Homo-oligomer: A and B are copies of this chain.
């Protein structure tokens, strides 16, 4: 219940607490796998069996709008979510679909030049690498 105290003051001032929303946020924060809405739903059902998929979507959208989670796109046409707000990038295997984190610091991408070039006011960026993971590199060599 500590989380309520910690998190809710940062939510929109009209927002009310719900255990469903808390659970969804916690699932994303403790996951390293960038789950889809449906995967969050399956996780959530383990703790709140009657939770509905609609509630999961509503909360994912709410939390993303509040900036408490990140909605990621990649190339799939299916949204994936990330509860890690620290500056970091992603790398995705184009063969098995696995997504892993790339720590920030390998690159220092700054906004200034792009802002003056485009006229936009930038608030965040998403850098994703695509390639073959260790396992799939090996598999490809074995069966060409």
- A interface residues (Cβ-Cβ under 8 A, vs B): 64, 70-79, 91, 93-94, 100, 102-103, 106-107, 109, 111, 113-115, 117-134, 137
Measured between beta carbons, the chain B residues less than 8 angstroms from A109 are 107, 109, 127
Bound together, the chains give a CA A119 to CA B137 distance in angstroms of 9
Complex Cα spacing A128 to B89, Å: 11
Q: List 27 A-B contacts (CB under 8 A).
A: A71-B75, A71-B77, A73-B74, A73-B76, A73-B77, A75-B79, A75-B126, A76-B79, A91-B118, A91-B120, A93-B120, A94-B123, A103-B117, A106-B113, A106-B114, A114-B129, A120-B131, A121-B132, A122-B129, A122-B130, A124-B129, A124-B130, A124-B131, A125-B127, A126-B127, A126-B128, A127-B128
- Of the residues B72, B106, B121, B123, contact of A73 by C-beta under 8 Å: B72
